[in-house]
Structure 1
Amino acid sequence: MNDAAPPHGKGRILVVDDDRLVLATVTHGLAQAGYEVIDADNGDDAILLARQHRPALALLDIRMEGKTGFDVAEYLRDVVGVPFMFLSAFADEPTRAKVAELGALAYLVKPLDVGQIVPTVDRVMAQLAQGRGADLPPAAPPQRPAAPAGVPPAPASASTPDPVSLATGILMHRHTLTQARALQKLHALASEKGLTAQQQAQRLVDAVEALADTDA
């Protein structure tokens, strides 16, 4: 990617998350929404990409091995001047206090789907374009009722993500492909194995989830 070239579409966004499936899903969803997306699965790479490409906005996971999302946020704020928001599974009071201290433009609590993330990104980008980013308070979603002890929290959306969309996002991230090229690759892989695109997509998503479980 040539940093001298102007950002395409609605603007350039950096997405950082150490969960490969989340990273692929968010990257794909934002690309579909018209953003130019660069991504990283760790804080060190995120800092390098931010220095090289100067995105208009960064979406940061908080808890990652090595540099955390908070570490990256401090660098973005103090060194390169890139505004940021957080996507995190944690909503405890110390985390919220740190988010506010750092000056995040928004704060969304996982689990989320892209249909919830994109409108927030659109709002933040619009306000940044109007020069009002510094006045934005951290935005947190309404609190969901706490689940009983030992019961996992209910997902934010009952809808099941389309495996073809997820697989396309994974291929975009893994092979640095455009959405169209990633979809072509998915169909080619399916054809080679005598599967439908849906079947091949589900196999790819299952493989990434299994790898994530192994790394956990």
Structure 2
Amino acid sequence: MADKGKILVVDDDRLVLATVAHGLAQAGYDVIDADNGDDAILLARQHKPDLALLDIRMEGKSGFDVAAYLREYLHTPFMFLSAFADDETVQQVRALGAVAYLVKPLDIGQIVPTVEAAFANLPSRAVPAPARPQQAVNDAVADTVALAVGVLMHRYSLPRGVAFERLQKLAADDGRTLADQAERLVEAVELLARGQG
């Protein structure tokens, strides 16, 4: 099977790492894996993956540290795979601009479609021009919509396309823009998370 793209998978839980790496390789991706943040950065510099799938809480460098490096120096898109969905974590995921946020436990059947959707939406591998103010606004809106879709996927066990359609329908039913509806949904989740803290 031809490689669909190169993915860096990082998780300090070796069982999770092996399971995800194997599942993505079976799905046709070229997988590089690391069980800590320092190795992840070295491998990313060496192999220039198209996408990174990062655990958040690890010894040493966290997934957030790795993501910041990937964004800043390699312009590599990334998604998070984490057992945590608290307010602070969600805020950091948004701030870093992850293309998706998956909450464990997950099986590979849920991860592969999300990875495929992320690859379908990847810009060309050219180094992006510095963001203009309007571009930064557009990126922030896209990040919020992606996060809202992720919330709906997780909450209702939906595939990404169905979750996106549901978000569009919610927006239409309420007479709001997609971005506004996404923002309201994400804020609601953050409020709920704060209430549980």
Structure 1 unaligned residues grouped into runs of 5+: 1-7, 145-155, 157-216
Q: Which residue of 1 aligns with 2:155?
A: 143
29-38 or 121-130, which deviates more: 121-130
Which protein shows a greater Rg?
A: 1
TM-score for both structures, normalised by structure 1: 0.60
> Does the residue aligned with 1:142 lie in a helix, a strand or coil?
helix
How do residues 69-148 of structure 1 correspond to structure 2 at under 5 angstroms?
69-128=63-122, 135-136=142-143, 137-138=146-147, 139-140=150-151, 141-143=153-155
Q: Does 1:9 align with 2:21?
A: no
Q: Which residue of the partner structure matches residue 60 of structure 2?
A: 66
Q: Is the 8 A contact 2:103 2:154 kept in 1?
A: no
Q: Does structure 1 residue 31 correspond to structure 2 residue 43?
A: no
Which letter does structure 2 place at the counterpart of 1:103? G
Quote the Cα distance in structure 2 between the aligned partners of 1:143 and 1:96. 15
SS at structure 1 position matched to 2:155: coil
- Structure with the largest fraction of helix: 2
What secondary structure is seen at the aligned counterpart in 2 of 1:31?
Answer: helix
| Cα deviation 1:41-76 (Å, max 9, x = unaligned) | 000000000101110000000000000000000000
Q: 1:12 to 1:25 in 2, by over 3 A?
A: same
Alignment of 1:41-52 (within 5 A): 41-52=35-46
Distance 1:76 1:108, change over 3 A: same
Q: What does the per-residue CA deviation read over 1:112-165, in whole Å, with 9 as the maximum and x for residues that have no partner?
A: 00000000000000111578xx54523234338xxxxxxxxxxx8xxxxxxxxx
TM-score (norm 2): 0.65
Task: Give the SS at the match of 2:122.
Answer: helix
For 2:15 and 2:84, locate their aligned partners in 1 and report how far apart those are by CA, in whole Å: 18
For residues 49 and 68 of structure 1, what CA distance do their matches in structure 2 show? 15
Cα-Cα RMSD:
1.8
- SS for the counterpart of 2:114 is helix
The alignment covers a number of residue pairs equal to 136
Q: Which amino acid aligns with 1:33?
A: A
Measure the CA separation in 1 of the matches of 2:105 and 2:29.
Answer: 22
Match of 2:13 among 7, 19, 23: 19
